[in-house]
Amino acid sequence: MTQPTPDNLSPGPADAPGFWLDHADHRAWLAAEADHQFAFFRASLRPEGGFYTLDHAGVPLPDDKQELHTTTRLVHSYALGHLRGVAGADDIVDHGMRYLQSHHRDAEFGGYLWALEGTGIADGRKLAYGHVFVLLAGASAFQAGHPDANTLIDDVSGVLDRYFWEEGPGLFSDEWNRDWTPFSTYRGMNANMHGVEALLTAFEATGREIFLNRAGRILDFFVTRTAPAHSWHLPEHYTDDWQVDHAYEGNPMFRPAGTTPGHSFELGRLLLQYWDLTGRPEDGAPDRARKLIERALTDAWNTENGGLAYTLDFDGRVDNPSRYWWPVTEAIGAMAALIKLDRRAEDEVWYRRLWTFADRHLIDHKHGGWYPELDAGNRLAETQFSGKPDIYHSVQAALFPLSDGLSRFNEGLP
């Protein structure tokens, strides 16, 4: 396995012929970048349970809060690490799986608590966003051979069935109080998009058709019906009867107003994954995925300094110009998927542009991991995040181009 060092981290020469995905040097660089991240985030393991958030040098931050998506994303990411053969990955998976059962799982009301602090509950809400990540963690742990994974899949699937899945529209509702009394009537795209990710992974792990079918219904609503009606932008927020809520503005990070181009990259790639898993029918899915991805790139790319705007208004104009790491990682995954499917020179231009920007401004070559936010001058900013939030987005950007197919991050990994 390639040993990562700051000196060998360079994505590839800009003038190399053909496609970077076909070049041994680029693939070796991707593998080294993934390994560098796995090494850095091992320090997240908190001996007394759960995980630390790390500062830029990899030192644990004093905040004791543990949110469900952080726990589950680390389990998922290090399950991928296990499949790649990363030493010590099993320790992170085991640690996270135990913490999900002992702390996040609500022994009184069922389901999984959103946030813990020390031995207490910091936020007891039951969120679809968090629960689909529990399913993702269970499915990835299953693929890595964890003995408790199937039990976790069964438990969280039952919760999703009972409280979140709405059979009529074929979508997940969003949130409840801890005791399953109504919290709000909000409906959102983000939980459903990550629901597709979890459902497809669960199908690949278990072969249960219900997971694949539900992923298809969600994709049909957002990509076949909603995106074309909005010039291939994806509205984020909806009323309880699944009408677009143009006036909604919630948490500026998790529920910003308008549309979020980073989610278009994710959903476009997930549509290709679903299409691949269903036998590549002649249904126009690749064309829809391309329209979604290309619209987001065109509207969100910062032509002066690089990077991608966080949000757009409903006409495609930049609303929040903040540039975070994760939309770049998701754009890389989306472009890699398009290139795997159909070698087009214009896609290669974007793929190289994205990796070159990430290499110069986002990847921490000294310590590992990616810086989460840049200011207008491409310097590190910390308006929304402290330290490095997680490994999930950035390690997948390195691993997905290495896999052979459109379906799995671990398929054909070196």
The catalytic site residues sit at 263, 393
Q: Name the packing angle between helices 128-143 and 68-84 (round to 10°).
A: 20
What tokens were used for 158? 């039952």
Distance between CA 264 and CA 294 in Å, rounded? 9
Distance between CA 265 and CA 132 in Å, rounded? 19
> Which of 367, 371, 382, 390 minimizes the C-alpha distance to 57?
367
* Cβ–Cβ < 8 Å for 335, 292: no
What tokens were used for 257? 């107003």
A 10 A CB-CB count for 106 gives 17
* Cβ–Cβ < 8 Å for 156, 135: yes
A 10 A CB-CB count for 292 gives 27
What tokens were used for 13? 């020469």
The type of residue at 146 is: H
The type of residue at 80 is: L
Distance between CA 231 and CA 228 in Å, rounded? 5
